[in-house]
Amino acid sequence: MIRILLADDHPVVRAGLASLLADQPDMKIVGMVDSPGDAVAAAAAGGIDLVLMDLRFGDSPGSGEAGGVDATRRIRKLEDPPHVLVVTNYSTDGDVVGAVSAGAVGYLLKDSSPEDLINGVRDAARGESVLSRQVASKIMGRMNNPLTALTPREIEVLTLVAQGQSNREIGTQLFLTEATVKSHMGHVFNKLDVTSRTAAVAAARERGII
């Protein structure tokens, strides 16, 4: 039996997922929470095999890392942690890289078919990698174009630039020198073929990178 915790701040989404998965003979919903902190606390209490984690829990613009990413990282640091499968509406490169880097075993979009979601839950519970088709295409695109694909750190820096932070502020948050931040932005400019921070942010948003 796969014991599942649903972590999403939308009651309708939680109810829909619970209704779909509860019908499966090998699955049991053991809890539903609406905040990242509650998800970590429930996982720490034990008795959970898989957490279905939303990516953003009403995060305000400029608040930094998505709540689901931080919760995933904290859960995966627990002793004997459950696997985490991200189920979200967001599919930018930064979101995907952040979730996978935090330890998520998979990444599905909420518009996935019921069959894909059910199969994804079973695979994720076994620790197998699960990716929606759209996310898989993004990753393959990065692998096929390694010279123009932004690195996780470049995406992280550019995301903070998009939030209006200066090089000094970014350096402080990421524990980097200003020179290193400038170097990362130089690589971003070259890869996106732009000459300004504003243009870099616009190009990245247009391409779904941030």
pLDDT 10s digits, 91-123:
777 788 788 888 999 999 998 899 999 999 999
Q: CATH 3.40.50.2300 in the chain, residues?
A: 2-141
d(CA 96, CA 94): 6
- Residue 137: band (very low, low, confident or very high) from pLDDT cuts 50, 70, 90: low
Q: Who wins on pLDDT, 137 or 75?
A: 75
62: pLDDT strictly greater than 90: no
Topology of domain 152-206 in CATH is Arc Repressor Mutant, subunit A (1.10.10)
- Which residues on adjacent β-strands are paired with residue 86? 53, 107
On the question of pLDDT at 81 being above 80, the answer is yes
- CA distance readout (Å), 182 to 34, 64, 136, 152: 38, 20, 31, 16
**Which pLDDT score is estimated for 101?**
80
Closest by CA position to 153, among listed 137, 176, 120: 176
Q: Which residue has the tokens 């613009």?
A: 61
Sequence letter at residue 4: I
Predicted confidence at residue 50, as pLDDT, reads 97
pLDDT tens, position by position, 139-168: 655 555 555 678 888 988 999 999 999 999
Cα separations (Å) of 61 from 129, 134, 181? Answer: 30, 25, 22
Every domain range in the chain assigned CATH 1.10.10.10: 152-206
Tell which CATH architecture fits domain 2-141: 3-Layer(aba) Sandwich (3.40)
State the pTM of this model: 0.69
Q: What is the pLDDT of residue 29?
A: 97
Helix pair 93-102, 133-144: axis angle to 10 deg: 100
- What single DSSP character describes residue 31? E
**Of the listed ranges 2-6, 52-56, 64-68, 151-155, the one predicted with least confidence:** 64-68
Query: How many residues are recorded in the chain?
Result: 210
| Residue located via tokens 């402080």 | 172
Contact 77, 56 (CB under 8 A): no
SS3 content of the chain, % helix, strand, coil (to 5): 50, 15, 35
